[in-house]
Amino acid sequence: MRSVSIIGFGQTRFGELWEKGFREMIAEAGVKAVQSAGLDGKEIEAVFGGTMASGRFIGQEHIGALIADQLGLNPIPSTRSEAACASGSIALRNAFHAVASGDHDIVAVGGVEKMTEIDVGATSFALGGAGDQETELFHGATFPALYALMARRHMHDYGTTEQQMAAVAVKNHKNGMLNEHAQFHKEFTIEQVMNSGYVASPLKLLDCSPISDGAAALIVAETGKAKKLVEQPIEIIASSQSSDSLALASRKSLTELAGTKHAAKTAFERAGIKQKDVSVAEVHDCFTIAEILAIEDLGFFKKGEGGKATEQGRTALNGEIPVNPSGGLKACGHPVGATGVKQAGEIFLQLTGKAGKRQVKGAEIGLTHNVGGSGATVTVHLYRRA
So which residues are the catalytic ones? 85, 334
Query: Where are any strands of DSSP class E within the chain?
Result: 4-11, 46-50, 78-81, 106-114, 198-200, 203-204, 213-222, 234-243, 280-282, 365-372, 377-385
List of residues 6+ apart from 184 with CB closer than 8 A: 15, 173, 176, 210, 327, 331, 332, 333
CB 324 within 8 A of CB 291: yes
3-state secondary structure of 317: coil
Q: Residue 166 to residues 145, 146, 291, 342: CA-CA distances in angstroms?
A: 17, 18, 11, 24
Is residue 1 a contact partner of residue 221, using CB atoms and an 8 Å limit?
A: no
Residue 287 sits at φ, ψ, to 5 deg, of -135, 155
* Angle subtended at Cα 200 by Cα 282 and Cα 333, rounded to the nearest 5 degrees: 30
| 204 contacts 198 by C-beta, under 8 angstroms | yes
Radius of gyration of the chain (CA): 19
Report how far residue 239's alpha carbon sits from residue 236's, in angstroms, rounded to the nearest whole number. Answer: 7
